[in-house]
């Protein structure tokens, strides 16, 4: 059994590959993941979503 690891995507990159990596990990379309992120960020006053993305880009290793 292969264990799944969370990485920043090398193929599905718009800014840092964070959302592409999460989409690959969850088996979702990267576009759907990006849309969910945008909506959640807009409805939480922007700041938490931006902090999450910056932290994830710093913490998640490159694929």
Mean pLDDT of 25-39: 92
CB 13 within 8 A of CB 20: yes
Ordered alpha helix ranges (H), 1-63: 18-26, 30-43, 47-59
Mean pLDDT (the chain) is 88
Domain residue ranges of the chain, discontinuous segments joined by + = 18-59
**pTM of structure:** 0.84
Please give the share of the chain, as a percent, with pLDDT higher than 90: 44
């Amino acid at each position: 059994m292969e264990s799944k690891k969370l990485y920043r995507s090398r193929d599905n990159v718009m800014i840092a590959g964070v959302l592409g990596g999460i989409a690959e990990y969850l088996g979702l379309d990267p576009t759907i993941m990006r849309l969910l992120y945008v909506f959640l960020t807009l409805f939480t006053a922007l700041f938490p979503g931006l902090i999450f993305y910056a932290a994830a880009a710093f913490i998640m290793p490159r694929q």
